[in-house]
Structure 1
Amino acid sequence: MTEPINQLCPVSKQVHSSRPRQQRATITKTKILEAAARAFAYDGYAATSLGDLLSASGTTKGAVYFHFDSKEAIARELVAHWSTALNHAYAAAIDSQRPSIAQISLFFRDLAASISVSPLARAGLRLTTETGIDGAREVFAHWVNVTSSLVDKAIASGQLPDNPTTRQLSWTLCAGFIGTVNIFRILGDTGDFTVRMHDLVTVHLEACTAEAKG
């Protein structure tokens, strides 16, 4: 026998009533991550306590522990935001089908854009250089490795010379990127970050080529 329609209504109401709770939970989690991103990016991981995060986010300890089991868990999620930006930028560079040397510039341009618009990714980047966070240093190493793969392609195609400067290029670019981010953090807005990074990458690529000619 067909079940009366009035017996189905409560189920529908439960589904709808769960949506506001889910939305509130999402908003709360976002507030926690944004507060942690600001604190970690400016004060560092070790100097930021869970109490600092509670004050900055305006949430309760219960709300934090509903989403994260520790301060490190919050940090790991921020690192994951940077890792996602990193992988997206690398995939976009490869998919662009541009010359190999142009893929290097595109890769760092997209990373700079991500850092400019996402405080979560920016904090995640800084956390990859801090101790005490499982997997953070591996994400930094992954960044250097994928940059090396782009540089190796440019060398193999003859667009970059195979010399000591070029072989250190991936480390130089990644370190330069972090250094530029830190300068912006310390000194404030000193210009367009994407432009600064484009200039940095261009200078180093030209230096590699100039060494070969010299």
Structure 2
Amino acid sequence: MQERAEVTRRAVLATAAVLFEQHGYVGTSISDVARTSGYTSGAIYFHFGSKEGLARGVLEAHFAEWPRYVERWESLDAPVLDRLVGLSLAVAREFRDNVIVRAGNRLWSERRTIPVSLPRPFVGWIDAAARMLTCAEEVGELAPGTDVERTARVLVSCFFGTHTVSDALNDRRNIEEAVSDLWMLLLPGLQAAPVDPAKCLDGAGRLLAESRGRPAPSVK
């Protein structure tokens, strides 16, 4: 019984994510989710309580995507900056391809229309970036005198700003190229011994390809 309830909950959540991503919070109703998912409105209310609860469920699923990504990239045996860049590219792909992530992003942008307490964004990313930068500092990869906390905030701000522009211009179709361009500008200021930033991007690309089981494209 519990397993069946979880299957129902996940199916409803997946359908709601598609509709929220396409139509936004205001443009999506419980009736829409019921009609599209094939479950009754009663079943949706049972699992989520309200449309606000359903939106919160999608946002919580969005935020739940990230700890496993961060843990994996922090634990890889590779240069720290390669791992940081690789993590950013992996996350960029999720924002482009994962409907739960895309829906969560849209719901957060519409948060003032959702009358419920929502998870706080960005803080976890800033903490993760600061941890990886600290590790880079400890192994001698980071430029001497770098303010780790400030740099982490700037990196996260630049990363999500790049997402916003890519989303507005072409629905994130070029997001990997845009994030790579960002790192081409930032890496020379971060590296203890500046080298061609394309080498770091190539290293990150190889790590990303290994995680997906396909050859890495070379960064030109």
Give TM-score scaled by structure 2 length.
0.66
In structure 2, C-alpha distance between the alignment counterparts of 1:59 and 1:184, rounded to whole Å: 35
- Matching residue's letter, 1:158: G
Equivalent residue number for residue 108 of structure 1: 88
In structure 1, C-alpha distance between the alignment counterparts of 2:102 and 2:140, rounded to whole Å: 34
Are the equivalent residues in 2 in contact too, given 1:127–1:136 (CA < 8 A)?
Answer: no
CA apart distance, 1:59: 4.6
Bigger Cα Rg: 1
- Matching residue's letter, 2:14: E
The 1:142/1:41 distance shift into structure 2, 3 A limit, reads: same
Number of equivalences:
189
Equivalent residue number for residue 181 of structure 1: 163
Deviation digits for residues 59-92 of structure 1 (CA, Å, limit 9, x no counterpart): 5321311321123332333233333321111111
In structure 2, C-alpha distance between the alignment counterparts of 1:134 and 1:179, rounded to whole Å: 24
Equivalent residue number for residue 53 of structure 2: 73
Structure 2 unaligned segments of length 5 or more: list them: 195-220
Are the equivalent residues in 2 in contact too, given 1:45–1:127 (CA < 8 A)?
Answer: yes
| 2:17 aligned to which of 37, 46, 65 | 37
Deviation digits for residues 28-76 of structure 1 (CA, Å, limit 9, x no counterpart): 5445323432444455446655455456656532131132112333233
Are the equivalent residues in 1 in contact too, given 2:166–2:178 (CA < 8 A)?
Answer: no
Deviation digits for residues 79-125 of structure 1 (CA, Å, limit 9, x no counterpart): 33333321111111122121221221122122123223311022224
CA-based RMSD of the aligned residues comes to 3.5
Alignment of 1:1-214 (within 5 A): 22=4, 26=7, 29-41=9-21, 44-45=24-25, 48-51=28-31, 53-54=33-34, 57=37, 59-128=39-108, 130-131=111-112, 132-137=115-120, 139-161=121-143, 162-163=145-146, 167-189=149-171, 191-209=173-191
The 1:155/1:30 distance shift into structure 2, 3 A limit, reads: same
Equivalent residue number for residue 211 of structure 2: none
The 1:119/1:190 distance shift into structure 2, 3 A limit, reads: closer
Give TM-score scaled by structure 1 length.
0.67
Structure 1 unaligned segments of length 5 or more: list them: 1-17
In structure 2, C-alpha distance between the alignment counterparts of 1:175 and 1:41, rounded to whole Å: 23
Are the equivalent residues in 2 in contact too, given 1:160–1:209 (CA < 8 A)?
Answer: yes
Please identify which structure carries the higher helix content.
1
Are the equivalent residues in 2 in contact too, given 1:105–1:202 (CA < 8 A)?
Answer: no
Are the equivalent residues in 2 in contact too, given 1:79–1:128 (CA < 8 A)?
Answer: yes
What's the % identity of the aligned pairs? Answer: 25
